[in-house]
């Protein structure tokens, strides 16, 4: 049997983008499909990805690339649900546990939240890793089970199925080892191909910026946000993005079980101010996008009076978890204390994330295990007063031999000054279609 005739030559496609040309719809459709089928080799796709990183893509190119990745797999359909759907995606950060209190909070108001989440890699945490600190909780659901839980409980946080945008899964792994992760067109299409294929009616994007984020500058974060909002809008998904601060960790914890504990504090009406602020801000966007006029005051009330906690307990139980089970605690801890009086001026998010990773909370490769109890617990937030000898942070791990490298990551990671620094909101900007 002769080999099938391909519509294009991959070298021609690579040369076109290398020479700053605009790829045709036919070229994009073919190269994404051919790479998924194994006709285009990894080294060829890595060359094309590098050309995209260096030379960019036009809006039509990015939209077509995203559609091609969606078409490589299945599309989900939530039309049978009795309530509207709204989802959220974060570009990742340190201490970013917002999904945990957010999904049940939004579900309180009759909006279904189909939150397909991932695992952590490197210094950024993964939502599934956090929830797996809860005894019995299961990340993998069938599509039917997901639909049933959305109808009954209103919220689900689970792993994306293998059939959702398989081209993206293959390309993401390649980008991770070829220095092309930073290509904004490929970041945007990677995120949005899965979210559009998921079938949500509306989407709120949390695009983080700062040392602990993937995007280090406001300019890059804004470009990524606008690109993703345009992709969602063009696909018929009501999409808005918030640019949020990730120069310091979110909340007081970075690490799986530690972040679940802090999320439970938020669901009980407490928790750190910045975590509550961002949870309410995104919930406000999601409910409005889904046609529910709720408002921040009522959202805060649902945290304070236990309504969101009730949905959380049902959501965890529905996926086999025990909401009353004690969370894991680390076998060893080590505390860092302040060496002078003053106000904590700054704590570097990347350094805290790196320390949590080295303590066992993160992974270097996708197949690596994580420690449920490992991480960093902050005792003081930037802006707060501190006296010499006061605890600044506690390191948690099951393997004390990890402390030395974690402490090295935190060397110079904080500043104490004589006067309190100016504070700013965690939400820095809002990006909508055409504005």
- Active-site residue, 83 included: no
Structure tokens at 185: 């067109």
Degrees, nearest 5: CA angle 207-213-216:
90
Catalytic residue among 64, 88, 97, 175: 175
- Active-site residue, 190 included: yes
Catalytic residue among 47, 90, 190, 247: 190
Catalytic residue among 97, 123, 194, 402: 194
Q: Which residues contact 361 (CB under 8 A, 6 or more apart)?
A: 120, 125, 129, 254, 255, 256, 370, 371, 374, 375
Catalytic residue among 29, 33, 168, 206: 168
- Active-site residue, 193 included: no
- Active-site residue, 89 included: yes
Catalytic residue among 83, 89, 208, 358: 89
- Active-site residue, 168 included: yes
**Catalytic residue positions?**
89, 168, 175, 190, 194
């Amino acid at each position: 049997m002769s080999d099938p005739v391909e519509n294009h030559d991959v070298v021609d496609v690579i040369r076109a983008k290398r020479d700053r040309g605009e790829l045709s719809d036919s070229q994009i459709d073919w190269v994404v499909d051919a790479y998924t089928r194994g006709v285009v080799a990894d080294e060829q796709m890595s060359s094309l990805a590098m050309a995209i990183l260096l030379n960019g893509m036009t809006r039509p190119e990015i939209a077509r690339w995203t559609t091609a990745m969606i078409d490589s797999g299945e599309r989900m359909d939530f039309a049978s649900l009795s309530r509207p759907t709204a989802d959220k995606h974060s570009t990742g950060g340190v201490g970013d546990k917002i999904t945990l209190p957010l999904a049940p909070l939004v579900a309180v108001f009759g909006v279904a939240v189909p939150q397909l989440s991932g695992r952590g890699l490197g210094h950024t945490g993964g939502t599934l890793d956090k929830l797996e600190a809860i005894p019995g909780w299961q990340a993998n659901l069938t599509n039917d089970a997901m639909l049933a839980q959305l109808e009954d409980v209103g919220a689900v946080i689970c792993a994306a199925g293998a059939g959702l945008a398989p081209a993206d899964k293959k390309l993401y792994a390649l980008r991770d080892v070829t220095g092309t992760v930073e290509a904004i067109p490929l970041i945007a299409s990677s995120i949005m191909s899965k979210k559009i294929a998921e079938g949500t009616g509306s989407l709120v994007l949390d695009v983080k910026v700062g040392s602990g984020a993937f995007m280090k500058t406001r300019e890059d974060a804004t470009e990524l946000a606008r690109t993703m909002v345009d992709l969602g809008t063009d696909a018929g998904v009501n999409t808005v993005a918030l640019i949020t601060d990730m120069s310091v960790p979110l909340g007081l914890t970075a690490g799986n079980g530690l972040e679940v504990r802090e999320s439970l504090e938020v669901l009980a009406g407490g928790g750190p101010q910045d975590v509550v602020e961002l949870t309410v801000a995104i919930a406000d966007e999601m409910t409005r996008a889904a046609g529910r006029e709720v408002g921040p005051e009522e959202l805060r009330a649902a945290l304070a009076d236990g309504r969101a906690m009730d949905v959380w307990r049902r959501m965890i139980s529905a996926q086999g978890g025990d909401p009353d089970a004690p969370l894991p605690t680390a076998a060893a801890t080590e505390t860092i204390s302040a060496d002078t009086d003053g106000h904590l001026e700054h704590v570097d998010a990347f350094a805290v994330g790196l320390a949590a990773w080295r303590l066992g909370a993160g992974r270097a490769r996708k197949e690596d295990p994580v420690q449920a109890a490992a991480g960093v617990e902050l005792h003081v937030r930037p802006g707060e007063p501190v006296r010499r000898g006061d605890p600044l942070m506690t390191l948690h791990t099951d393997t004390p031999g990890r402390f030395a490298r974690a402490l090295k990551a935190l060397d110079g990671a904080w500043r104490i000054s004589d006067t309190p620094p100016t504070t700013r909101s965690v939400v820095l900007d809002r990006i909508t279609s055409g504005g």
